[in-house]
Each structure stands twice: as structure tokens, then as C-alpha cells.
Homo-oligomer: A and B are copies of this chain.
Amino acid sequence: MDPVPIIGGTGALGFGLARRLARESVPVVIGSRDAGRAQEAAGRVGNGAEGLVNAEAAASGPIVVLCVPFRSQSETLTNLKNVLEPGQILVDATVPLAAAVSGRATRLLGVPQGSAAEQAREMAPEGVEVVSAFHTVSAPMLADLDHELDEDILIAGDSRDAKGRLAALVRQIPGLRPVDCGRLEVARHIEGITPLLISVNARNRTHAGVRLTGLEEPRW
């Protein structure tokens, strides 16, 4: 099985995702700006996880997951411009929370392109398909392997093939159900669910996720 590079894999979401994938024997490569931090996180993930600087990590597998904070999304993609290659899939998991500019985490910034995912598409090299995912699953609940997941991963993107390949990866993690939500522009609505969940979490001291009802067998 191809390794899965997770850019920003030392952060909460990336680390949680790495742990879940590694447990299912999916080889993961933690990317970080700092090789030492990447290796340290990879050590905590275990199961053969590797740690590399972002640029090396991003070249290590066909489906690259971008888990950096929105504040660093643009800079990170600039640095990966000469690394990412046509045919790779870039999975954008960033959320333009106002917290990126010291605002509230229950508020979303207006992104000129319409969403963080569409900013990623604008910046990704030609031939790299951008898919949006992982905005509603709680990072701590991913990292807590004792927690039994039972929720949906809402996926948006313009390439049916790229979405399908990501869905196959998502299905490796028990308890996560991929749902195709449509074109990449729909990502703005999905990104908005994160601040909504943060608001619900604050009120309920929980880590809420989303499950769509009326959807027994999502179409892929």
C-alpha cells in the first residue's frame, strides 16, 4: 500500500489521522517544517510511521493530506509548488477560522477564492487534483484510539476519481463513512460546519461530529 503523507502531521488533526491510519497498517509519513519534530511525532504514532520535512513527505505518496492551520496554508503550498506532481491528490483539511487572525474559532474568515479548499486549488500545481475533507471529525477523538468512531467524512471535489480514491482511504478507518458532497465549491459549506461544531463543543464539553441521516448507502 502507498504511503500517505500528512503535511502538518505534528498538529492535532494530522496526528490523529496518522494514528488511525497507522493502526490499520497504512504506512504514514508525518510532514513538518522541522525534521526533528516530524520524527518525534512519527515515533509517537508508531507502526512504522516515518517523519520527514514537508517537501520530502509530500513526494512520498499519491494522496497528500494537508493538515496545517489556515494561517500557514498559503505558505505551505508555495513551498510545495515544485514538489507536488501531476496525478497526485491534495486533500485539503484546513478551515479558515477567524482564530487564524486572533479572532474567534466560532467565526469563519472570508476567503477570496470562496473557501480554503478553493485557495488550495488555485495554488496547487497544474494536474494536482484538490479534494476537501476531514473538517468535521474531532482531532482528539481521532487520536484517542479507544474511542469508537461513528461518523461521516464529508468530501467535496471536482474529480470523481480523486474523491473515490480518497474515499477508499477513509474506509480504511473503522467508523468513518465517506460521503460525496459534490463539487469543490461546496467545501465552503463544509468548512462552515467546523466553527459550528466548535460552538456546540464549547456548550457541551464534547467533541461533536456529523452523521447525515437518510443516507444508508452513500453513492460513490
Residues of A near any B CB (own CB < 8 A): 106-108, 138, 141, 150-151, 154, 179-183, 185-186, 188-190, 192-193, 195-197, 199-200, 202-204, 206-215, 218-219
Contacts and interface: CB of A to CB of B under 8 A. Distances in A.
Q: What's the dominant secondary structure at chain A's contact region? A: mixed
Contact of A181 (B181, B182, B196, B206): B196
A180 B199 CA distance: 9
How many protomers of this protein does the assembly include? Answer: 2
Given A181-B196, A196-B190, A214 B203 contact: no
A214 B219 contact: no
A213 B181 contact: no
Given A107-B185, A186-B199, A192-B192, 13 more contacts: A106-B183, A150-B213, A154-B196, A179-B200, A180-B203, A182-B199, A186-B195, A188-B192, A189-B192, A206-B215, A208-B215, A210-B213, A211-B213
A204 B196 contact: no
Contacts of A154: 196
B196 A219 contact: no
B138 A214 contact: yes
Contacts of A209: 212-214
B213 A200 contact: no
Contacts of A183: 106, 199
A211 B211 contact: yes
A64 to B, nearest CB: 25
